[in-house]
Structure 1
Amino acid sequence: MVTVTEPKLIAGNANPGLARGIARRMSMHRGMSVGLVDARVERFNDQEIFVEVYENVRGEDMFIIQPTSNPANDNLMELLIISDALRRSSAGRITAVIPYFGYARQDRRTKARTPITAKLVANMIAEAGIERVLTMDLHAAQIQGFFDLPVDNLYASPVFSLDIMHHFRGRLDDMMVVSPDVGGVGRARELAKRIGAPLAIVDKRREKAGEIAEMTVIGDVAGKTCLIVDDICDTAGTLCKAAEILIEHGATEVHSYITHGVLSGPAVERITKSVMKSLVITDSIEPSEAVKACPNIRIVPTAPVFAQAILNIWNGTSVSSLFEHETLGPIYEGMYTSAA
């Protein structure tokens, strides 16, 4: 068996900035240069995807960095084809690093004659030769059970807690964490516990799909700085409406912490005009120029935590240690000062 010396990274076209950031962080940790494997991921004229790897990967521990964000189908196919190229090149082990796992919202049958696409995608990933998945804030935790291979699901909440304790230092007693719907209570409760804040819920009821008929605030938010917590922000309609309802119920400020900023359609315009003071997202999805230019959107990097998770997987050490903000503090040193 070939001895594996160093982890090797390869990236598709979904989020090259994050891939380069992970490589830089790993270089710092290793004290040596860690670069991306030289490869090309291109399209023929009919949009078929073609992959060619220019370096020897025989027996190597390979990590493919590729969120399956918009365009979800293209990015998913890139991931599968890169994996097939590595497998046929005798890579030792292939891990898919999928910061944003697309199709995760289709995790169950909500009505008759509909697919469970998240399970289909899990099957495709396994068939492509991927042996492990590393992701962040899966939309539904049960998706880990769709895979017959190890899945490490990182959480954004410890990173968010560092950010909150830094930016709201001295104001933590006035914080109120808010879940924008009943289904997200577990995620919001986790962050509330980390920063020692109470929890409120915005209960929404729909008359028909896509139309919110009524929103009710469960909990006393009067005089509080509210932090709305969720995993995905798509068109931002529900998020902006929830912020308005909180202000109407007496909240002094509303900020939002969302892991995956899909931000499609009118999302950026809505957020710009919203009563929200700020929206904090991660770079799990490559931000568009409009997102970068939006004055009340701030982006928190995930490269430090993904780089450490990749090194832990390669070393065979604990990934769950990264679930605590005490562990992440040194990793994000220089970005956040001590929040005593």
Structure 2
Amino acid sequence: MAGVKLFALNGNVPLAQKIAQEVGLPLSPASVRHFADGEIAIDLDDSVRGADVYVIQPVSDPVNENLMELLIMVDALRRASAHTINVVVPYYGYARADRKARSREPITAKLVANLLTMDGIDRFIAVDLHADQLQGFFDIPVDHLRALPLFAEYFRKLNLPDVVVVAPDHSGTKHARELAELLHAPIAIVDKRPEADAGIIGDVAGQNAIIIDDLIDTGDRAAEAYTALAAAGAKDIYAVATHAIFSRGASQRLADLPLSQIVVTDTIDLPAEKRLPNMVTISVGQMIGQAIKLIATNQSIHPLFDFK
């Protein structure tokens, strides 16, 4: 693909390398330096004049540092006369602050979208945004990739009998139903109520339960879902999430649960100390690489969603 250049910042270099391998292009060189006071400096070691550039950077821990790296990189590319600047954000941090739930709250997801847009990006590519409507926060093209087909393919290969897909709360019902349709399985919902133990809506007794969520942060929601499913008589229980944030003791919390498997993707580069023996990591590198090839050649990315 003539005229296309790929850059990786510090957020998730292993994933960027997988994407580059799928695209069939090397990662272009760039230097990211930090001054003594923490300020970030970026130098492009190759010309990008007239190039269609793709920058790969999740907004994950350290969230603010990775976000500033991305903003500074975009500024450098724009000033270096890149033809188009396309940012690939496998995990979009601040996405949970997408509305005013209480008085005097910021909508930080919109703020970050504004910052990226005003910085001069031409296209935003993400995987499993916290809410689909976040695409509307951008006034530029957004390609919202989904990890759901990858999870469905994985569990089809496991060939589990008597599967039920479980939403960890009522807001996750749509996500659970989508996976259930791909697996031809029923759904159940964890019904959490104030000052009461969580219950289950649906039949899970004797079933292999798959808890599906977009992310695992502290692990509290997965733990509550596990407890409710175990009490309701579920057989083997699997926890599935696209983004493995794993903050504030999540790894230990999940390690204490006798989950059959924890299935995540590599949108976030999880350090070795947070990985668990029963964790399965599915790469989104091939999917993102295919998306870049389709976008760069002005083709529809719809085939990436055509999975039945």
Tell me if TM exceeds 0.5.
Answer: yes
Matched, 1:297 2:288: no
Task: Tell me the distance in 2 between the aligned counterparts of 1:192 and 1:281.
Answer: 17
Task: Tell me the distance in 1 between the aligned counterparts of 2:297 and 2:218.
Answer: 40
Matched, 1:48 2:39: yes
Asked whether the 8 Å contact 1:159–1:325 carries over to 2, the reply is no
Matched, 1:161 2:152: yes
Task: Tell me the distance in 1 between the aligned counterparts of 2:131 and 2:5.
Answer: 29
Asked whether the 8 Å contact 2:3–2:50 carries over to 1, the reply is no
Report the aligned-residue RMSD.
1.2
Alignment of 1:232-247 (within 5 A): 232-247=215-230
Look up the SS of the partner of 1:275 in the other structure: coil
Alignment of 1:51-130 (within 5 A): 51-130=42-121
Matched, 1:141 2:132: yes
Instruction: Tell me what 2:237 maps to.
Output: 254
Deviation at 1:320, TM superposition (A): 2.3
Instruction: Tell me what 1:190 maps to.
Output: 178
Task: Tell me the distance in 1 between the aligned counterparts of 2:214 and 2:41.
Answer: 32
Matched, 1:17 2:45: no
Look up the SS of the partner of 1:325 in the other structure: coil
Task: Tell me the distance in 2 between the aligned counterparts of 1:184 and 1:146.
Answer: 21
Look up the SS of the partner of 1:62 in the other structure: strand
More deviation, 219-228/198-207: 198-207
The correspondence for 2:297, drawn from 286, 306, 315, is: 315
Deviation at 1:291, TM superposition (A): 2.9
Unaligned 5+ runs, structure 1:
28-33, 208-212, 327-340
Asked whether the 8 Å contact 2:169–2:189 carries over to 1, the reply is yes
Deviation at 1:325, TM superposition (A): 3.1
The correspondence for 2:250, drawn from 267, 283, 293, is: 267
Task: Tell me the distance in 2 between the aligned counterparts of 1:290 and 1:320.
Answer: 37
Percent identical among aligned pairs is 44
Task: Tell me the distance in 2 between the aligned counterparts of 1:303 and 1:6.
Answer: 21
Q: Which amino acid aligns with 1:271?
A: L
Deviation at 1:6, TM superposition (A): 3.9
Q: Which amino acid aligns with 2:282?
A: V
Task: Tell me the distance in 2 between the aligned counterparts of 1:42 and 1:112.
Answer: 39
Q: Which runs of 4+ in 1 moved over 3 A?
A: none
Q: Which amino acid aligns with 1:249?
A: A
Task: Tell me the distance in 2 between the aligned counterparts of 1:98 and 1:146.
Answer: 15
> TM-score when scaled to structure 2?
0.97
Q: Deviations over 1:210-247 (max 9, x none)?
A: xxx43110001011000000001001012012112101
Task: Tell me the distance in 2 between the aligned counterparts of 1:87 and 1:177.
Answer: 45
Q: Which amino acid aligns with 1:183?
A: S
Corresponding residue pairs, total: 308
Task: Tell me the distance in 1 between the aligned counterparts of 2:66 and 2:232.
Answer: 42
Task: Tell me the distance in 1 between the aligned counterparts of 2:278 and 2:13.
Answer: 24
Asked whether the 8 Å contact 1:41–1:51 carries over to 2, the reply is yes
Deviation at 1:288, TM superposition (A): 1.1
Asked whether the 8 Å contact 2:30–2:42 carries over to 1, the reply is yes
Task: Tell me the distance in 2 between the aligned counterparts of 1:314 and 1:230.
Answer: 31
Q: Which amino acid aligns with 2:182?
A: R
